[in-house]
């Protein structure tokens, strides 16, 4: 188990599913107050995600087909390299949600994913010397199979919640309808143990 802290705490375990959200640099407006510190991390995340979903200003580079495809290619490369097992994903105009099981440290796989996609995206945008992604990501360890299914549904229905499409199947930049994606939670002993301990 790895625990790190920058502005946000990060807890990860190789082989245990994790929900990760990362966003474009400066995608949350500086003038808008961020959620109150007294909010739980879950409520703070939902508030942040709603702000991102309905953003009409700030960078929206991921709605460009060529850049969204760069992120898809980078995600697939991470699977090929054996960095993670990818369960669900969605690329929205200014942020990305992932549900994956890391096979290497999360900091390494996220560094690799962000670095590769940022270099190519900045080439497409004809930019040099500018950060593409926000430094930190939001992440949450998945506690059990019920939470795994809930997160998977959240990710895949996010384009509908954001008002981008009327059905998840209409949205091109997600794992919905993609071949070869493992939709089941890994059968690991902790899933049953964690669920039993809360009964």
The pLDDT value recorded for residue 29 is 64
For the chain, list the domains and their CATH numbers. Answer: 2-197 (3.30.70.1290)
Question: On the CB side of 46, how many CA atoms lie within 13 Å of its CA?
Answer: 7
Lowest-confidence range among 54-68, 156-170, 172-186? 172-186
The pLDDT value recorded for residue 113 is 95
Q: What is the pLDDT of residues 23-54, one digit of tens each?
A: 999 887 665 555 555 655 566 666 566 666 66
Q: Tell me the pTM.
A: 0.80
* CB crowding 134-168: b at 16 or more within 10 Å, else e: beebbbbbbbbbebbeebbebbbbbbeebebeeeb
Confidence at 193, pLDDT banded by 50, 70, 90: very low
Tell me the average pLDDT of the chain: 82
Q: Reply yes or no on whether the pLDDT at 175 is more than 70.
A: yes
The pLDDT value recorded for residue 51 is 64
State the average pLDDT over residues 168-182: 82
Q: What is the pLDDT of residues 88-136, one digit of tens each?
A: 999 999 999 999 999 999 999 999 999 999 999 999 999 998 999 998 8
The pLDDT value recorded for residue 125 is 96
């Amino acid at each position: 188990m790895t625990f790190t802290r920058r502005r946000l705490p990060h807890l990860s375990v190789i082989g245990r599913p994790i929900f990760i959200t990362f966003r474009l640099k400066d995608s949350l407006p500086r003038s808008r107050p961020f959620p109150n510190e007294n909010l739980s991390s879950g409520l703070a995340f939902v508030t942040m995600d709603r702000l991102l979903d309905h953003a009409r200003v700030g960078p929206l580079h991921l709605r460009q087909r060529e850049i969204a495809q760069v992120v898809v290619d980078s995600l697939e490369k991470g699977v090929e390299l054996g960095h993670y097992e990818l369960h669900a994903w969605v690329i929205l105009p200014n942020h990305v949600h992932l549900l994956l099981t890391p096979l290497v440290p999360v900091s390494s796989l996220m560094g690799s994913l962000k670095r590769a996609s940022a270099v190519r995206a900045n080439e497409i945008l004809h930019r040099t010397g500018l950060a593409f992604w926000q430094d930190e990501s939001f992440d949450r360890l998945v506690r059990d199979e019920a939470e795994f299914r809930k997160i998977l549904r959240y990710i895949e229905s996010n384009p509908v919640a954001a008002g981008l499409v009327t059905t998840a199947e209409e949205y091109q930049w997600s794992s919905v309808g993609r071949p070869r994606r493992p939709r089941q939670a890994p059968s690991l002993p902790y899933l049953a143990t964690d669920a039993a301990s809360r009964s």
